[in-house]
Chain A
Amino acid sequence: MAKRIWTRRDFIAAASAAGGFALGRASLEWGGSDETVRLQFEQRLPGLVRKVSLPPEVGEAFLTRNPGLDDMEPLSRLLQQRLQLSGWWIQWTGLPEDQELLDSLAEAVRRDFERPQGICNLHGWYLSQTECHLAAARVVAIREGLMEDVAGPALGYAQGDLYPVDAWGPQSTPRGEAFNAQPDGSSAFWFHISGAAPSLKIYLGRLEMNTTVRDELVTASLPAEEVSSILRRSGRYKVVAADPERELQQTIGEFLVLDEAPQPSSEDASSQGLEVDSLRDTRLKTVLDWGPKSTPQGRPFNPQPSGASAFWIDVRPDRTESTIKVYLGNRPLRTTVSAKVITASIPAAEAESLLRDPGRYPLYLVSRARAARQKVGDFVVEAPETR
């Protein structure tokens, strides 16, 4: 039997069941405001919407109709109200675990259909307000880089191994830049696939591409207007092969629309600070702690399940902007900003070149909007002799 980990909520519930104690005092010591709860909830929201699969079309349609909600703050506020995450009890006990929140969200979706004001009408489709808010939060979270977009086509086919894919490309493109452009304005992928059936279809995200099978070379193209839509914002798109005759689909990989043009790798850490160096220094956040602060040469640090290496920066919750990015030198990192913690990751492929050379690398918080930076500290790649 797995060991049960007691949370603060469990202790409080157990204490209350045992006859209670000085609740008022505990509240004074542990409690916060509803706004603190909201900030905590906003921080948790990307993690919650990551666990539900709502299509971007719903979120985008909702945000088009409700442009004032195009931000995590109002969406988290609405969902907080819907889940009744306010008042002294929740301030005292803190937010429930994810599973409990998801249970409450599922119940809220169901109950929305019974509430006069619970319906969200999108193109005639009767959806619950809660599911629309969640779908919108998912779109915003992807847009703000708080989670990745890895939606595939909605075919309803079973997952299976269709064909071995020996190679394919291109696998990434900078945002706004057409990839493998064709004379007709379309952009095309190529795949080396053995034994592909003529009925094979390749999908980019949810889009079916114009697929041609010639012996072992499969090409798949998207018209210019579809490409420009995809390139509008950064994200990950699942590349999927599907055979309608066999009703099977197979994930080939992910196509990346990169947030920025790829930075040239540099062997000299000091030369990477040029762009960020031009920004004025100011305090963007109150940094409480951060890490890791060093790593041995060539070795990933704080490795994530994806293979990426990640920094964490504990900050004091405030109402300042959530569009801050973390830079290592002048290299922008994939950044997630939440109320109390900022995380920034380096993909495994990039970490290898970055950690090749020992040195001190300045870690910054950067606000493009304010043309400002805040140095967090120096990250040290240790030379072998210093170990």
Chain B
Amino acid sequence: MIDTSQSIEAGQSLECDLCIVGAGAAGISMALQLEGSGLKVALLEGGGLNPPPFSEQHPYQGRNVGREYSLIGTRLRYFGGTTNHWGGWCRPLDPIDFEKRSHSDLSGWPFRRAELEPFYRQACLLCEIDPPLFELQDLGDSGRPEGEFFHHYDPQLVAKNFRFSPPTRFGQRYRSDIEKAADITCFLHSTLVEMVREGGKVVRLRARSEEKEFFVQPRATVLALGGIENARLLLASDGQDPQGLGNQSGFVGRCFADHLGRTLGQVLTSWKAPYVMYSHQGVQLLPHLSLADEILRREGLVNFGIAFLSSRGQQLLPSDYLHDQTLFRQWEGDPKMGFYHMVARFEPTPNPQSRVTLIPELDSYGLRRVQLDWKLNNREFESLDRISEILARRIGAAGAGRMRRGFLDAAGARQADMTYQAHQLGTTRMSDDPKLGVVDADCRVHSLDNLYIAGSSVFPTFGFANPTLTIVALAVRLAQTLQSRLGTE
């Protein structure tokens, strides 16, 4: 059921098996998985069913002292969370994203991609991706775009596909399921302001609804508030732990990252280059150009994908440049060629100095506001420079086209405009080692028996794919873990 919290009296204490804080993609997915499990679930949502009006007093308002970042525009505080403005981009993280790699000392997950495979399939169902397949070889030949993929010329120039959810607005799509759920109660306009620990357990949650304050006493709690608010709530819950709850490692709020976007340059190739949106058996696909894992590993590069955006030519090369079959005889594509901007989305690397902290200023709920200091590592720019060089050479050597680089060194890459994609990552990172992370492989806060975290804040390494599908897969996996654990206790 959905309760607007008006039924809760001031000072009332609710008891439940599990309290999920935050009704976004992760929170709603978990709740749906646990319906019928026999567990009594409370789902707290700070907003209502509709977007709140913008206000300078918005709880997400904060101070930004690092790279430019919108603390309000990137987040939505109402039922369904940021799926309400999601573009629907879906792709699992790649197996290489789970590996320990040379591009960062902090890289790697505590488990391999295979661990998430069954949960990705369920995530696809929740995100309405059917069939749950992504790679070209799995999707078959029919409906392929007419142009040749670059791996036709050079197997190291691989394609990595995005697929698109309708997009599923989790609040709208699953509202009736939550309303009908017998074991789930969603409390709207209910903001968590503090978690109280006794020994190794969180025993009480203090929440506010308008002027009323109430309490929840769950057997277990899951924070599913998003990459900034998860860290904020841990840091703000400092009644017993001055450095914040579960922050023995000092990593709470650190390693903040977002996926980066940058035009890498321009390419002259077939006018039917397939790295653009197309429909395959009724499903929208957007293949991205990337490099084979062995090159990424060998060169210590960040993962990335490049989509093509049609553009006009940039001086020098005419559009029929590669028509000459004497000199460029490898070219087998359509003789008509085109220029494309190479729009790259790429992986940031964990940077402990990039962090969310709290400032003394309070919001209307009495919670300290956040300060964001977003920093990038130089590795990102070095990678971009090297990726650009490798692609320009391999595309040329393969005879697949010619590439114009948008910058010629790491300094050039650093100076360029960079976009971000409103994916808050890494602030409660996962690690087997309690000294290097906040949660363990089960998403449980290391120092606490019954506090869990869902969402992209647990990602220790980020890949380049949009995080929603992985967030949902991890949430489904966590729901299964909690069902097993709480059901046994």
Contact = CB atoms under 8 A, between A and B. Distances in A.
Interface in B385-423: 392-394, 396-397, 399, 402-406, 408
Given A110-B399, A124-B404, A127-B402, A53 B323 contact: yes
Contact of B404 (A53, A105, A110, A123): A123
B396 A156 contact: no
B50 interface: no
A127 B405 CA distance: 11
Contacts of B335: 156
Interface stretch (A54-62, A71-79, A164-172, A266-274): A54-62
Given A123-B404, A156-B337, A113 B393 contact: yes
Contacts of A155: 319-320
B321 interface: yes
A286 to B, nearest CB: 35
Interface in A81-128: 102, 105-106, 109-114, 119, 121-128
Interface in A218-262: none
Nearest to B334: A156
A154 B392 CA distance: 23
Nearest to A206: B318
Contacts of B330: 110
A126 B316 contact: no
Contacts of A156: 271, 319-320, 335-337
B265 interface: yes
Contacts of B315: 57, 123
A102 B325 CA distance: 11
B102 interface: no
A348 B326 CA distance: 31
Contact of A106 (B317, B327, B396, B405): B327
A52 interface: yes
Nearest to B396: A113
A110 B405 contact: no
Given A58-B316, A113-B394, A114-B393, A125 B328 contact: no
Nearest to B407: A124
A134 interface: yes
A131 interface: yes
A274 B375 CA distance: 80
A156 B396 CA distance: 20
B324 interface: yes
A51 B326 contact: yes
Nearest to B394: A113
Nearest to A61: B316
Interface string A170-212: 0000000000000000000000000000000000001000000
B329 interface: yes
Interface in B311-349: 314-321, 323-324, 326-330, 335-337
Interface residues of B, number: 33
Nearest to B320: A154
Contact of B327 (A109, A114, A125, A206): A109
Given A122-B316, A124-B406, A126-B404, A55 B321 contact: yes
Given A52-B326, A110-B397, A124 B318 contact: no
A123 B314 contact: yes
A372 B75 CA distance: 83
Contact of B408 (A55, A124, A131): A124
A48 to B, nearest CB: 9
Given A125-B316, A127-B396, A156-B319, A106 B408 contact: no
Nearest to B271: A156
Given A113-B393, A125-B403, A156-B271, A105 B316 contact: no
A147 B319 CA distance: 23
A174 to B, nearest CB: 28
B317 A128 contact: no
Contacts of A112: 396
Contacts of A128: 396
B393 A58 contact: no
A252 B381 CA distance: 51
B393 A154 contact: no
A156 B393 CA distance: 25
Contacts of A106: 326-329
Given A113-B397, A206-B318, A134 B327 contact: yes
B317 A126 contact: no
Contact of A124 (B265, B329, B336, B396): B265
A109 B328 contact: yes
Given A55-B317, A114-B393, A156-B271, A126 B324 contact: no
Contact of A154 (B318, B327, B396): B318
A168 B403 CA distance: 40
A112 B398 CA distance: 11
Contact of A114 (B323, B397, B404, B408): B397
Contacts of B265: 124
Contacts of B394: 113
Contact of B324 (A54, A113, A121, A123): A54
Contacts of A121: 405, 408
Interface string B420-455: 000000000000000000000000000000000000
Interface string B286-324: 000000000000000000000000000011111111011
Contacts of A154: 318-321
A58 B394 CA distance: 20
A126 B402 CA distance: 7
B317 A131 contact: no
A106 B322 CA distance: 12
A128 B337 CA distance: 19
A213 B184 CA distance: 74
A58 B316 CA distance: 6
Interface in A123-179: 123-128, 131, 134, 154-156
A126 B327 contact: no
Nearest to A105: B327
Interface in B50-70: none
A52 B403 contact: no
Contacts of A122: 316
A128 to B, nearest CB: 6
25 contacts: A52-B324, A53-B323, A54-B324, A57-B316, A58-B316, A102-B327, A105-B327, A106-B328, A109-B327, A109-B328, A113-B394, A113-B396, A114-B397, A119-B393, A121-B408, A122-B316, A123-B404, A124-B404, A124-B405, A124-B408, A125-B402, A125-B404, A128-B396, A156-B335, A156-B336
Interface of A: 51-55, 57-58, 61, 102, 105-106, 109-114, 119, 121-128, 131, 134, 154-156, 206
Given A57-B316, A114-B393, 4 more contacts: A106-B328, A123-B314, A124-B406, A126-B405
In the complex, the 7 A-B pairs of residues with the closest C-beta atoms, listed nearest first: A154-B318, A113-B397, A126-B392, A113-B396, A156-B336, A124-B404, A154-B320
